[in-house]
Amino acid sequence: MLLFALSIAPGLAISLYIFLKDQFNREPKLKLFICFLLGCLSILPALLLEIVGGNLVEFLWGKSIYATAILAYVVVGFSEEFSKYIMVRMYAFPKNTFDEPFDGIVYCVMVSMGFATLENIFYVFEHGFATAIMRMFLSVPAHATFAIIMGYYVGMAKFDPSRRKALIQNGLLGATFFHGTYDFFLFLGDNNQVTRFVNEGLLFIGAVASFIIAIVLSRKAIRIHLNLSQKQFQG
């Protein structure tokens, strides 16, 4: 029971934080819950793409650093962020309640937290208490920062049809870049050809550094869209 509570706590806490941040025009709770469930569902196409892509990368490039980069940025980073984006695009994006740029962040985070929470349950029950604590402060919040970056652009795209395609591409690529960079340093620690020459602690620091940069950008994105919301709904 404790492991389950630790598994779901960070995702629920971040979801609540974003919900409370949306102080000027909050979204219907039912739609947010549906987005969370769709995020859980999005793990299925991502998993399929990762299995097929991972096997293909290993077959073509083995365990090289090049293969690790493709695995981190394309197979994992892009597959997961694209799967989340599809759920937002199909369900939340067309809704009339998506009526301000900040809603892009809200809906993307809810989908992402559904994904991260289900993923977290699997990892924590497989690896135990220490993994639960580490992922509570790193992996799940990292998913949130990637979602905020994507949501910032998705929110702008909703209200700028002329630049919609470019903005969505920027959001998807931005989320993928930070997701891939975070994973790349972690994956290097599993690469025996690399760990002979590079201290695993430095690799972990690299992952955390990319996470911190994503946090800084996420805070800025939230601040910009909240200012727009305040002007829109409070004059």
Type and span of the H or E element at 43 = helix 43-61
pLDDT at position 202:
53
Distance CA 174, CA 177 (A): 5
Q: What is the pTM of this model?
A: 0.92
38 pLDDT more than 90: yes
Each residue's pLDDT tens digit, 179-220: 999 999 888 866 555 554 554 555 567 677 777 888 888 888
> Which amino acid makes up residue 200?
E
**Side-chain half-sphere exposure of 196, counting CA atoms within 13 A:** 3
pLDDT at position 131:
87
Return phi, psi of residue 101, to 5°. Answer: -60, -35
Q: Which of 232, 216, 213 is nearest to 158 (CA)?
A: 232
Q: Which of 139, 120, 143, 134 is nearest to 18 (CA)?
A: 143
Each residue's pLDDT tens digit, 103-130: 999 999 999 999 999 999 999 999 998 8
